Structure 1
């Protein structure tokens, strides 16, 4: 990271005050209940960059404490995305690796009189916690003896109770203005098979209990999270103060602003709604800001990482304009994309003074120029207008890497639509204000193209409850086009510049294996709009 951010200043101060550099350690702890999105990249980039700067460990820890929504497929997808972005972790761990240790630490709190088993329902517990503006109500089970709590907690672990019958709670302060400190739940009963531990456990730690203790067990020096967890920090520190051992360095939690992108959402819960309602195809839908969706759309790791680097790390919440991301994308694609001629909405030109196919040189290959060629309909106008430099009757234009032509007459069908334009080749080398791309009709390759727009019609859908009411129904449109045969061997890793139309990539998921049905995704247009940070 080029600019020193406030977190680096904190770390530098800690080192100056005596924290050994060898004790520095950072982690990225995703929950495997969905795919990674752009917001996660900010956290990965931050922790990975700090680990590289200070030459210390970067750990990938899966926060798999809830077997209800977590699956192996999400673990695989997360690792694939992180690798694709170019980040490498030195150690891969799982919260479930520490279930035994977490259970022992919970017993330690019970022995201290700082945790108890509550036999009330979650609904009742929530009611008793009340709001931050009024005192909470203590549970009638709060004064259970240490012996009874240990026995009940053991029974919870052994599956002797039904789901929802009881929970383990920390005993802190039911009158605290911070709701998170009002005797939070540490363990709940979930009788569902865990993808990794199987049916070994009937109780599972909550995020608040597992998160800080896993940081402690892994000797993480700085636990970095987004601002929505700032009110959990006092609880994070309270738990650590009760379980720490002598001489053990405690992790410190610091918060930074999350990434909010205009016309998009960064909530996995809301993305799941879109998938369940079949508004989008899946997690890798090119309209979603997931890493897999962006990859399928044609975004590059360089563009994404340069975007994250540019927006920086701060505590100020703001919405980032999507055009900033597209700026870095276009800048990267301009360096790597292969130029191809593809015609949308074709109009046929018939060359009157050409009888046989000619082979011409375009870039690093030979392309055919036949008696009939396609140009785009928008490149021809029947009645010439001022400052229209493209093709019209009596006007000459240059064809890309080919000849100069002049339109002589229009041949129409019975319904009045244009059948073809009769043209003539001129072998002059004069310069013209318009150069058109084209494709030989006889040799053209039919393809389909997905054109993408914003998924939402409003700037900040994240903050709206009924966000699905603002879906842009034209966020994906599929059109037909005709390409040169070069695209017959297209692959999803290569990016293509369709002359005068923008950047595109092969949609591997829609294209069949032998490329007999080719589908491309439009990545971005050439035109760049203004952006604001």
Structure 2
């Protein structure tokens, strides 16, 4: 066991007790697994599960397998298999050579089903789906099946013929013989196998019967030597069936299932079916749309693996379902990027500013810090000249009360890292739109500090030099849904989509240094930048190209979570 033994959640407490002398796992190495279904991309909800699976193994110096749960071939694809592996590696976890498919165990699972039939613990049932529901019973009435006492030899014959493709879909199922009167309906002779004529993404058409998850999963865990099968709370009522399969099949080990609460976040949906619908209907640009809760979407938006792992650590592990505020995830990202992001200047809604008393033909270099929180981040030089760009809302001809930015005859303001300026007027076009702000500067205030030490009441304004500025497209993102609970009862989640979830700004101006940054690698988070006073941004790896800068806003500077 690893040196760190301090329990931080109830799962760790269970494991530490079982590792003690006389415990179930005495002398064993902790072994977990992450079993995603390859029918979609991983999202932030899966991230909690995989950090628990991989993180628990890490904590105790154990192992964690990656196993594709491909027992249901309906919507599985190698595209998702590749994406899942990429996302897990991006988060900083690895499975070494322990990469498996549930379908690797089809042959062994079939053999174990046959052994249950021979033991009189499974039978072939002819109930149709409608009859199955009709005969399911209720809390006071046991379920029933006319086929429960079918002879063993007949069951063996029918099950083999099911495997050989002699019957249509729905004609037969293989059911466990457990307890038709059980108060846990999962134990009322659950289905173990069903007939499906569908091509499997790896097995092709070799199999036309497929095991149910509740039968296949405990077998796979036991065959891989898993000590702790960690899963979401929805499987708590399935645990007796998990244990029944482990106890009644001839398996090399006996794993223990432990359940934890799933992650719920407001303003989003976690159903892969619903996320796939958003993609297929073109409501988003793809699985990696930066508004999506998928890990590839969050990565494209600029989320870092450190921020996501910190988020999962801080929300903790519990046995009670709850909903986390999306703003808390943003807060974790903001905390990370504040330490690591390079500070630059970018003007999103530019208006030209002319310093009328600055020489027309003069240009100077100003040295600025890349990140004041990181002494090793160094400095860079930016240019300054007579013509600049500033934000349009940094000027107001008729200011509102307490307005502390540029206004004719108003207070002095600082140009970030440069000089003090005072607005003297503006130039308008024929429609009355301001097209140029006129200012004068104090030549003795380089660095933004007046030589006479006078107090400056105006705001500090970011800017870019018009002579060297580079055009950029900026994408501002908001919640994908305008309703905090789009999955709520009596709601169509598509009706809850936020029409203002994406705002695209063109003609933005950024400092020249950003034209030289490399395109981010596939599967990596792009370098983060803090656009002063605007937020944290990263280059969009899909749509940006040399000569066409596209930046996604990862998160704003405002911390809505702390404010709440």
Normalised-by-shorter TM-score class: over 0.9
1:330 counterpart residue number: 334
Q: Which residue of 2 aligns with 1:359?
A: 364
Tell me which residue corresponds to 2:203. 197
Does structure 1 residue 463 correspond to structure 2 residue 488? yes
In the TM superposition, what are the counterparts of 1:273-422 in structure 2 within 5 Å? 273-353=277-357, 354-363=359-368, 364-395=379-410, 396-422=412-438
SS in 2 for 1:443: coil
What does residue 252 of structure 1 align with? 256
Partner of 2:549: 518
Unaligned regions of 5+ residues in structure 1, if any? none
> Does the alignment pair 1:105 with 2:133?
no
Q: Is residue 2:54 matched to residue 1:48?
A: yes
Match of 2:95 among 76, 79, 89: 89
1:313-367 per-residue CA deviation (whole Å, 9 max, x = no partner) reads 1112211122222222111101111111111211111232321140322433333
User: Structure 2 stretches of 5 or more lacking a match?
Assistant: 369-378, 521-525
- Range 74-83 or range 89-98, more displaced: 89-98
Asked if the contact 1:384/1:393 (under 8 Å) is kept, the reply is: no
Deviation, 1:241, is 1.7
C-alpha contact (below 8 Å) 1:324/1:532 kept by paired residues? no
The separation in 1 between residues aligned to 2:276 and 2:133, in whole angstroms, is 26
Which secondary structure state, in structure 2, belongs to the residue aligned with residue 21 of structure 1? coil
Which deviations, in whole Å up to 9, do the C-alpha atoms of 1:99-119 show, x marking residues without a partner? 111000000111111112223
2:143–2:188 contact (8 Å) kept in structure 1: no
State the shift of 1:385 in Å: 4.7
Q: CA RMSD in A?
A: 2.0
Give the Å deviation of 1:217: 1.1
Matched, 1:439 2:491: no
Superposed displacement of residue 165, structure 1:
2.3
Instruction: Give the 3 Å change call, closer, same or farther, for CA 188–362 of structure 1 in structure 2.
Output: farther
Separation (CA, whole Å) in 1 of partners of 2:214 and 2:563: 36
User: In the TM superposition, what whole-angstrom CA distance separates every residue of 1:121-166 from its partner, at most 9, and x where no partner exists?
Assistant: 3333233224x43424422332222111111111111222222222
1:416–1:72 Cα change, 3 Å:
same
Deviation per residue, 1:476-531 (Å, 9 max, x gap):
1111211112111234421011111010011111223xx22221111111111235
Specify the alignment match of 1:486 in structure 2.
513
Find 1:499's aligned residue among 510, 514, 532: 532
- Note closer, same or farther for the CA distance 1:463–1:173 as it changes in structure 2 (3 Å cut): farther
- The TM-score, its normalising length taken from structure 2, stands at 0.89
Aligned to 1:270: 274
Provide the rounded CA distance (Å) in 2 between the counterparts of 1:54 and 1:424: 65
Q: 2:132 aligns with which of 125, 130, 150?
A: 125
- Do the aligned partners of 2:103 and 2:203 also contact (CA within 8 Å) in 1? yes
* More off after superposition, 486-495 vs 148-157: 486-495
Q: What secondary structure sits across from 1:461 in the alignment?
A: coil
In structure 2, relative to structure 1, the CA distance for the partners of 1:3 and 1:455 (3 Å cut) is farther
Q: Deviations over 1:273-327 (max 9, x none)?
A: 2223322222212112111111011010111111111111111221112222222
Closer, same or farther: CA 79–251 of 1 in aligned 2, 3 Å: same
Alignment of 1:452 onto 2:477: yes
Matching residue of 1:242: 248
Q: Structure 1, residues 29-82: CA drift from partner, whole Å, max 9, x if none?
A: 111111111222222222222212322221111111011111111111011000
For the residue of structure 1 that corresponds to 2:536, the secondary structure is strand
Structure 1 distance, partners of 2:400, 2:10, is 58
Q: Aligned equivalents of 1:413 and 1:237: distance in 2?
A: 78
Whether contact under 8 Å (1:135, 1:174) holds in the other structure is no
Distance 1:194 1:359 in 2: 66
Match of 1:473 among 493, 499, 506: 499
Matches of 1:7 and 1:495, distance apart in 2: 35
TM-aligned CA deviation for residue 371 of structure 1: 3.2
Q: Aligned equivalents of 2:402 and 2:306: distance in 1? A: 39
Map residues 20-99 of structure 1 onto 2, 5 A cutoff.
20-90=26-96, 91-99=98-106
Cα 1:322/1:499, change in 2 over 3 Å: same
Give 3-state SS (helix, strand or coil) of 1:463's partner. coil
Match for residue 226 of structure 1? Answer: 232
